Structure 1
Amino acid sequence: MTDKLYCMSHYLAFRFIKDENINFFDGLNHTVFKPRDEKEITPVSTIDEMDRIIKDKISEFYVPNKTAILLSGGIDSAILASYLPKGTKAYTFKCIAPNAIDETAQAKKYCDIYGLDHEIIEMNWSDFEELTPEILKADGVPFHSIEVQLLKAAKHAKSQGIEKIIYGDAADYVFGGMDKILSKTWKFDEFVERYNSIEPSKVLKNSISVKEIYEPYRKSLDLIDFQAFLKDYMDIESYTSYMHAFELGGVEYLDPYSFMKMARPLNLNRVRNGEPKYMVRELFAKRYPNIETPTKIPMPRAMNQWLKEYIPTRSEFIENCAQDMTGDQKWLCWCLEQFLNMHDKGEL
C-alpha cells in the first residue's frame, strides 16, 4: 500500500521506514535488514569467546588484497583491525568542514601498531549532493546520512580492487554501547520524546502520530521496555543503512559483532557508571595494552556546518520548522525534500 503521510512521519521520527509493505508512492518499494537466524548467533560471556568468533569470521571472509576495513578512532573497529594481516587497507573518514570531528590521528595509531595501510577518505558536502540521488533511486525511500559515506567508501574501495569490507557497527547494539539512551529507566512518554529524531507534528503541516510503534513495548507503571524497542528499531535501522550502501556499492560486507549476543543480561549498572560496552572495552585493552581507551564518537558527519543555512521550502513543511534543529535533524528534512522533488520530476 502507499501512504505518504505515514512514510514522511515515520522517516522523520525513526530515520527509516520499517514496514516494507507501506511505501511513499505507487511503483516504489523498499527493503529493511532481516535479523539473523538465532542459529547463526553465538552467546558470549568472556572476551576469549569474542576473540574466537572474531578470528573465525574474519578468517572465513578475508581474501588477500581484496579486503579492507572501515576504521574509526573508536574501539569497535580498532579491535577488528587488530586481527587483520599486515598491509590490509584501512579507510578512515574525514569530514571537510570547519571544526569537524577528526578521527584520523587516532585511527592511524591503530594502523601503526598492526601494520595496516591507512588511507583517509575525505567527505565534502558535494559528496552528499552527488550521491543522494543515486541512493534515493536504489532505496526507494529517504535514508540516514551515513549511507552517503558508506557508498563513497565502497566505490573508492572498488576502484582499488577491494571487493570485501569489514566494519564494526553492531558492537554498540550487542554489547550495550548506547550509554546515553541506556542511562536510565525511561517513562513511556519521555522515552518517545527522547527517541524520536524529529517529532513529525512539529515539522509537517499534515502528519500522523508514530506513538503506536512504541505501544507494544509499554510496561506497567507507565514504563517502557526500551531495550526490546532498541533491538527492534535502532538495531534494524542501522543495519539497514549498511546493507543498502554496500549492496549498492557492489561490495561484500562483514560485521563480526553481528554474529554474537551477550550470554548474560546487560549489566545496566556498569553501563550507567561509566563502563559502556564493558566486554568490548576489556577486549580492546587486551589488544591495545599501551593505548588508553578512547571516548566513543559516532561516525562523524558535519551536518551542523554543512546545513547551517538550510531551510525547508516544500509546502509539506511548517514554515521556519528548522530554526532550532540540529544538523542531523536538518539532514532528515533535506533528504526528504530531495526525495519528494525527485518524485515530482519523475526521477524515481
Structure 2
Amino acid sequence: MNDESPQADVPMNISLYLQYRRFFPVPRKVYEPVATSDELIDAIRRRVTGLGGKLGILLSGGMDSALVAGCIPHSYTAYTFDYGEDRAHLSEYSEAARYLTHGAEHKRFGVTRDAYFKAMDELICLLQQPVVPHAPAVYLAALRARADGCTHLLTGFSADTRFGGHGHLYKAQTKEELGEMLDKQFANPEKVLRSPQPSKWVLDGFVTDGRIDVAEFLKRVGTEGASVIGAITQAGLIHVTPFTELEWNRGGEQISKGKELVKKACITLYPEVGVNKKKPLPLPYNQWFEDYQPTRSELLPQAGKYMDGKRRSLVYAVERYLALREEHGWTVPEANGVFSD
C-alpha cells in the first residue's frame, strides 16, 4: 500500500512547482513600458513586423491573441484548438474566426486525450521538469505548425500577468493572503507531498512595509511557468510572445479593471467585433483527470481528491516527472533564490 512505502525526499523545486507552476530560480528581465493602448499596439507591431519565414499563431476567441493577430502586417496561418463533437461547447473556432486579418488561413487543431498524455511525457523528457496543464496541447499545435512549414509561432501568452489579469489576486494585501489564494488556484504542496518543502518564501521579495506587491509578483514570477514557452521551442519553432517583453506603466495607479489597456487596444483594431467573453484555454481537464489518483510514495494518496481537473493535472505532472526523473537520472535545479543573477 502507498502508506507503507518508504518516503522519499522531494527537492524544493517540486514544492515550488505545485505552488507557482515553475521551477526556480527565474531569470531577471527588463521590460518595455507601455502606458496607453496606442503604445501597446505600436510595441506589438514593432515586435511582429519584419519576422522572416512563415508565421503561425495560436488564435483563441480571446482578446490577447486577437490583438497580436491584428498587428501582423501580412498573411499567416491561425490555429484554434478543437476537442471533438462531444465537447463542442469548448470550441472557440467561430469566435476566433472573427479576428482573422489579411486573408489568413484558419485551421482547427484537434487534441485528443491520448495525444495529450503522450505529449505530456514527451515534453517532460525534453524539458526535464513538470509541465503546466496546457503545455502538452501547445506542444502538439506547435508540431502541427512546424509540419505545415511555419518557422515562427505567435501567441498572446502572458497578457494576464503583465496587464492586469488575475484580478482576484489583487485583493491580497499581505504575503499570507496571496499565499492562500495561490493555494486555491494551484496546489498547496502540504496537501500533495508527504515531505513538502517551504514555498511561501518566494513571496518575501515582493513585500514592502508588510504589503504584497501583486503586480510585481505577477510580472516577475507569473502563473504560466516556463514550460509553455519551452513547448514551442522544443517543437522547433521560434516563439514570439510580445506580452512577455512588455509591462504596463501605470504611473503608480492601482489596477482598477482587469486588462483594460488590452481591451482598449483590441477594440481599436477590431471596432466592429469588439471582444469576446474570456474563456481560458478550455481543455477538458475534468474529464481527462477525473479518475486519476497518485500512487508514488512521495505523494499523499488523497492528493487531488478535492481539486478540479486542471489543478489535478499539476499533481499528475509532478508524478510523471518524478517517475521519468528516476528512470533517466535527471538532477533537479537548485532552488537557491527567486532570481538567477
TM-score (norm 2): 0.85
Per-residue deviation, 1:322: 2.1
Q: Separation in 2 of the partners of 1:202 and 1:212?
A: 18
* Map of 1:246 onto structure 2: 232
1:106-150 deviation digits (Å, cap 9, x = unpaired): 001212x65221101111111222112221111111111222112
Per-residue deviation, 1:72: 0.8
Stretch deviating more after TM superposition (300-309 or 41-50): 41-50
8 Å CA contact 1:176, 1:266 repeated in 2: no
Per-residue deviation, 1:208: 1.7
SS of the residue 2:160 aligns to: helix
* Map of 1:205 onto structure 2: 194
Per-residue deviation, 1:62: 4.5
Instruction: Indicate the percent of aligned positions where both proteins have the same amino acid.
Output: 27
Which of 104, 111, 135 is residue 93 of structure 2 equivalent to?
104
SS of the residue 1:120 aligns to: strand
Q: Separation in 1 of the partners of 2:303 and 2:41?
A: 48
* Paired amino acid for 2:189: P
Structure 1's 186 and 255: CA in aligned 2 closer, same or farther, altered over 3 A? same
Q: Indicate whether 1:12 and 2:18 are aligned.
A: yes
Structure 2: gaps of 5 or more residues: 1-8, 331-341
Q: Separation in 1 of the partners of 2:199 and 2:61?
A: 35
Q: Separation in 1 of the partners of 2:13 and 2:34?
A: 38
Higher RCO, Cα 8 Å, sep 6+: 2
* Map of 1:45 onto structure 2: 35
8 Å CA contact 2:164, 2:255 repeated in 1: no
Structure 1's 143 and 306: CA in aligned 2 closer, same or farther, altered over 3 A? same
Per-residue deviation, 1:87: 4.1
Q: In angstroms, what is the RMSD of aligned CA positions?
A: 2.3
- Count residues in correspondence: 319
Q: Separation in 1 of the partners of 2:252 and 2:122?
A: 39
Structure 1's 339 and 258: CA in aligned 2 closer, same or farther, altered over 3 A? closer
TM-score (norm 1): 0.84
Q: How does 1:109-258 map to 2 (within 5 A)?
A: 109-111=98-100, 114-182=102-170, 184-196=171-183, 197-220=186-209, 222-234=210-222, 237-238=224-225, 240-258=226-244
* Map of 1:60 onto structure 2: 50
Per-residue deviation, 1:328: 1.5
Which of 235, 240, 265 is residue 251 of structure 2 equivalent to?
265
Q: How does 1:286-301 map to 2 (within 5 A)?
A: 286-301=268-283
Per-residue deviation, 1:215: 2.2
* Map of 2:322 onto structure 1: 340
Q: Separation in 2 of the partners of 1:150 and 1:110?
A: 20
Q: Separation in 2 of the partners of 1:269 and 1:60?
A: 33
Q: Separation in 2 of the partners of 1:257 and 1:217?
A: 21
* Map of 1:22 onto structure 2: none
Structure 1's 159 and 59: CA in aligned 2 closer, same or farther, altered over 3 A? same
1:168-208 deviation digits (Å, cap 9, x = unpaired): 113222221222222x2433212101113111111212112
* Map of 2:337 onto structure 1: none
* Paired amino acid for 2:64: D
SS of the residue 2:307 aligns to: coil
8 Å CA contact 1:5, 1:206 repeated in 2: no
8 Å CA contact 2:28, 2:220 repeated in 1: no
Q: Separation in 1 of the partners of 2:49 and 2:73?
A: 10
Structure 1's 213 and 76: CA in aligned 2 closer, same or farther, altered over 3 A? same
